[in-house]
């Protein structure tokens, strides 16, 4: 069987194993300069320890989502997967892209957001529908609900100089 065909047929739980390393790759690109970028936009900035704490928590939640999907494989776990990936990766990528467009400059984490977060998020959502784990409408709703807090947060950072959390 052709390798690409095998990859296209992978179960959601196997695809989800890529989420932690993709998140870590993004964090490694983002880490060295994101706090400085953020604090240049927001008067009530963040500290390096807070940045590490937020990202450590996000990694722990990502691992919990992976475990939930592996243990249950239910419609509920698929909804959690889509909601979390939409928040953590898809909407976060839009924040980086919008920041780069508005600033006219590189935003730390932009490359991994575009090269990894967006394709992976779309792949997870599409595969969820393809596997009939959730109907397309449920994926759209879960993705929108998941993305909303990060989209609001990004808007506040980039356009209002404040933050949601």
pLDDT in tens, 61-96: 999 999 999 999 999 999 999 999 999 999 999 999
Is the pLDDT score of 156 beyond 80? yes
User: What whole-number percentage of the chain has pLDDT above 90?
Assistant: 90
What is the total count of domains within the chain?
A: 1
- Within a domain: 13: no
Please state the rounded mean pLDDT for residues 96-111: 98
- Within a domain: 3: no
The stretches of the chain forming alpha helices (DSSP H) are 3-8, 12-16, 19-30, 34-41, 48-72, 75-85, 92-103, 110-112, 118-130, 136-155
- Within a domain: 14: no
User: What whole-number percentage of the chain has pLDDT above 70?
Assistant: 95
- Within a domain: 59: yes
pTM beyond 0.85, yes or no: yes
Boundaries of domain holding 49: 19-160
- Within a domain: 45: yes
């Amino acid at each position: 069987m052709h390798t690409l065909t095998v990859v296209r047929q992978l179960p959601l739980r196997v695809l989800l194993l890529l989420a932690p390393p993709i998140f870590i790759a993004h964090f490694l690109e983002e880490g060295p300069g994101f706090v400085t970028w953020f604090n240049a936009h927001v008067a009530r900035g963040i500290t390096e320890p807070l940045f590490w704490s937020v990202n450590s928590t996000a990694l722990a939640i990502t691992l919990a989502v992976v475990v939930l999907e592996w243990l249950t494989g239910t419609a509920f776990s698929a909804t959690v997967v889509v909601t979390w990936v939409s928040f953590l990766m898809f909407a976060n990528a839009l924040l980086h892209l919008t920041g780069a467009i508005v600033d006219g400059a590189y935003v730390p984490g932009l490359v991994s957001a575009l090269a990894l977060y967006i394709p992976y998020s779309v792949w997870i959502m599409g595969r969820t529908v393809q596997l009939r784990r959730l109907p397309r409408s449920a994926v759209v709703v879960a993705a929108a609900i998941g993305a909303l807090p990060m989209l609001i947060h990004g808007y506040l950072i980039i356009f209002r100089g404040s933050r949601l959390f």
